[in-house]
Amino acid sequence: MSHSSANNKLIHEQIQYLEFLSNDLERAKQFYTKSFGWKFTDYGPEYTAFEGEYVDGGFTIGTFQHGSILVVIYSNDLTATRDQVIQAGGTIVKDIFNFPGGRRFQFNDPDGYELAVWSFAE
């Protein structure tokens, strides 16, 4: 596991590493690079690790079955991030909506994972 970007930012009990399954690692890398600017390092043909500003993780070859956690990503500009997700090939499943203290949207990535992006209320 790569921890280089998070080493100086580790916070007790914060989710620090996420691992996803994908049946197309190149597609996953392109989508998350275009959507969130994540940087990838390949470790052989069946695993790639990513580094983001406050999160590290990886993708390995496979297909997920029913059930998954909802990964929630923070954005300073919710509308711009939604547009990036759409341009990168994501599908919006819940457009921007308000909740107490903020706003968010939810989308499916090209592998079918549902993720959310949130921001503070404007």
* CATH classification of the domain holding 79: 3.10.180.10
Is residue 1 assigned to a domain? no
**In this structure, is residue 49 part of a structural domain?**
yes
Whether 96 is covered by a domain: the verdict is: yes
N- to C-terminal Cα separation, the chain? 37
Q: How confident is the model at residue 122 (pLDDT cuts 50, 70, 90)?
A: confident
Asked if residue 2 is part of any domain, the answer here is no
DSSP state of 45: T
- Asked whether the predicted pLDDT for residue 72 surpasses 90, the reply is no
- pLDDT at residue 7 is higher than 70: no
Lowest mean pLDDT, pick from 46-50, 66-70, 71-75, 78-82 = 66-70
Residue 58 lies in a domain: yes
Where in the sequence is the domain holding 43, given as residue range(s)?
Answer: 7-120
Question: In the chain, how many domains are there?
Answer: 1
Within-domain flag for 88? yes
Distance CA 2, CA 41 (A): 9
pLDDT at 100: 84
Q: Has residue 106 been placed in a domain?
A: yes
Residue 29 confidence (pLDDT) above 90: yes
Structural domain contains residue 40:
yes
Side-chain-side CA neighbours of 5 within 13 Å: the count stands at 15
Q: Residue 10, Cβ neighbours under 10 Å: how many?
A: 10
Provide the H-helix boundaries in the chain: 25-36, 78-87
